[in-house]
Amino acid sequence: MTIRKATPEAIAEASRILLSGGLVSFPTETVYGLGAVATNTDAVSKIFSIKGRPSINPLIVHVGSADWVSQFAETDDRYEKLARTLWPGPISFVVKLKPDNTISKLVTAGLNTVAVRHPRGAIANELLTTVKTPLAAPSANKSGAVSPTNASHVAESLDGEIDMILDGGNCEVGLESTVLDISSNGPAVILRPGAVTQESLTGIIGPVLQDDASPDLPKSPGQMLSHYAPSLPVRLNALDQEQGEALLGFGSLEGATLNLSPSGNLSEAATNLFRMLRELDSPNKYRAIAVASIPNTGIGIAINDRLKKAARQ
């Protein structure tokens, strides 16, 4: 078993594994990542093969502080302002690479931009400050599947294929980071909604666009590929349970098999979403998962984005 409780000794061991080209899954405040040293092409290539991830879908580079980014990417005033206000936290920024950078080309899928993130989770930060070098880390699941929010989710799909899983319990946010493209001179564009919302970004830098304006031309190369999908069919905006369905409720909905948040709290629903989808994804017990309607405000926008992808809509 490769799961280790994230003690200082385990983090030191994880750091040695990473620096010698291995892969370690570690908790962040959003979901568990599958990390490799971002400058090590051999290590990064293992991420793609283990996940079954298409090579056109670039990875997020995780840093231990905002000033690491200037080693490999352009950092303008808008970046500085956003990073100062929102990091460490659940948002990634797409910025321009510097021409002489040493980040593996596999990480960025050969683009001239890179997504960067300074996570808030204590274990992720201890790991980053111990390895002292940026880590490329997608969510620690097989490509297309639901992201892991605890160590056993990671083990269910990747145990035996990676060198270590650092166990830090359940992730606080439960949904992947907001991805914000600030690589052009025009308005910033949200490529993936997350816990940091359009309203809060607008409050910091003025008008921010949501990428769904042109769904045929996804700016995030992975957007059209990611499904976040359980194996069972998912039916959205359910008011009741049909024959053979599990019902994932929200708020006061009666008769739910599981409820994302009985009190109707959207942050609690986000934290529970992926764990509960996994729990209900049981073809032996159910033929489909019906999900109650979720208010489309605040982090509800990100929840509905993941649910639509889970329902393959």
Task: Report the distance separating Cα 71 and Cα 132, nearest Å.
Answer: 13
**Cβ pair 262, 251 in contact under 8 A:** yes
Q: State the minimum distance, in angstroms, from the CB of residue 53 to Mg ion.
A: 8
Task: Give the integer Cα–Cα distance in Å for 118 and 87.
Answer: 6
Tell me which of ligand TXA, Mg ion, none is bound by residue 179, counting a contact when its beta carbon lies within the kind-specific cut-off of 5 to 8 angstroms. Answer: ligand TXA
75 vs 139, beta carbon nearer Mg ion: 139
Amino acid, res. 256:
A
User: In this structure, which long-range contacts are made by residues 214-220, counting pairs with CB atoms below 8 Å and at least 24 apart in sequence?
Assistant: 218/191, 219/181, 219/189, 219/191, 220/179, 220/181, 220/191, 220/192
Tell me the C-alpha distance between 171 and 168, whole Å: 8
Interface residue with ligand TXA, options 44, 87, 117, 230 (CB under 6 A): 117
Among residues 140, 262, 97, 117, which one has the least CA distance to residue 194? 117
How far does the chain reach from its first CA to its final CA, in angstroms? 37
191 touches which of Mg ion, ligand TXA, none (CB within 5 to 8 A by kind)? ligand TXA
Contact between 251 and ligand TXA (CB under 6 A)?
A: no
**Residue among 140 and 269 whose Cβ is closer to Mg ion:** 140
Binding of ligand TXA by 179 (CB under 6 A): yes
Q: Which is nearer to ligand TXA, 32 or 250 (CB)?
A: 32
* Cα distance between residue 212 and residue 294, in whole Å: 19
Question: What track of x and - describes contact with ligand TXA for positions 127 through 166 (by CB under 6 A)?
Answer: ----------xxx---------------------------
Binder of residue 197, out of ligand TXA, Mg ion, none (CB less than 5 to 8 A by kind): none
Of residues 126 through 145, those in contact with Mg ion by CB under 5 A are: 139
176 binds ligand TXA (CB under 6 A): yes
C-alpha torsion sign, points 180, 182, 184, 186: positive
**The Cα angle at residue 307 between residues 206 and 149, in degrees rounded to 5:** 90
Q: What, of ligand TXA, Mg ion, none, does residue 33 touch, CB below 5 to 8 Å by kind? A: ligand TXA
Query: By the criterion CB under 5 A, which residues form the site for Mg ion?
Result: 139
Query: By the criterion CB under 6 A, which residues form the site for ligand TXA?
Result: 28, 30-31, 33, 57-60, 92, 94, 108, 111, 113-115, 117, 119, 137-139, 176-177, 179, 191-192, 220-223, 226
